[in-house]
Chains A and B, each alone.
Chain A
Amino acid sequence: QKEVEQDPGPLSVPEGAIVSLNCTYSNSAFQYFMWYRQYSRKGPELLMYTYSSGNKEDGRFTAQVDKSSKYISLFIRDSQPSDSATYLCAMSLIKAAGNKLTFGGGTRVLVKP
């Protein structure tokens, strides 16, 4: 069993719809959770960072963490074709520079105009 599970997709939605992404993890010691967006043949870019259970909002993006269920989510409102990319969840044990991240497999999202 992988430490972090993520549905590979592809997830296809019409423009303007809400995109819902999630990851489950098995290691309850994970404390810090991140969502990255990766366009084809590019490096990942950080979208959201959170370390507590609950919701965190940033523009059209909302990250949700449920530590009791070991489940995290990312919601994208009013999706745009430019949101078409692969979304990777990542998590770490401690909050310190140089700490390793454990990534999910990534979900490919297609937003159709």
Chain B
Amino acid sequence: GAVVSQHPSWVICKSGTSVKIECRSLDFQATTMFWYRQFPKQSLMLMATSNEGSKATYEQGVEKDKFLINHASLTLSTLTVTSAHPEDSSFYICSASEAGSYNEQFFGPGTRLTVL
């Protein structure tokens, strides 16, 4: 089946620093990638949708200047949390969708971010 990886799997950073999370589709070309945020015991909250080569579309209430998304190739998307604060601590999950497929999304294993 389609495999999506994320790196790092967990990261701890100091308040005010920036953190980059990578999402890769390993065995297929992902024309669309999604970034989600998940708080403990809660469901996934869609942050943004990114299509390869174009700007990401952010959901209402998500600060685009704080959560920078780049989808430079068909196998890689990155999420950068800029000037991170403790309230940004969360589980960030990406998913990828392949061109020509149904609307099935393949999820990465997630990245746990802790901001001190």
Q: Using CB atoms and an 8 Å cutoff, list the residues of chain A in contact with chain B.
A: 6, 8, 32, 34, 36, 41-46, 49, 88, 92, 94-101, 103-106, 108
Closest residue to B107 on the A side, CB-wise?
A43
Chain A hits for B100, CB < 8 A? 97
Q: Give the segment of B14-22, B43-51, B60-68, B78-86 that binds chain A.
A: B43-51
* B43, A41: Cβ atoms closer than 8 Å: no
Count class of interface residues, chain B: 20 to 34
* A97, B110: Cβ atoms closer than 8 Å: no
Chain A hits for B91, CB < 8 A? 41
Sample of 12 further A-B pairs with CB below 8 A, known A32-B102, A41-B91, A41-B110: A32-B103, A36-B107, A42-B109, A43-B4, A43-B6, A43-B95, A44-B93, A49-B102, A96-B103, A97-B32, A99-B103, A103-B43
Chain B hits for A8, CB < 8 A? 41
Chain A hits for B88, CB < 8 A? none
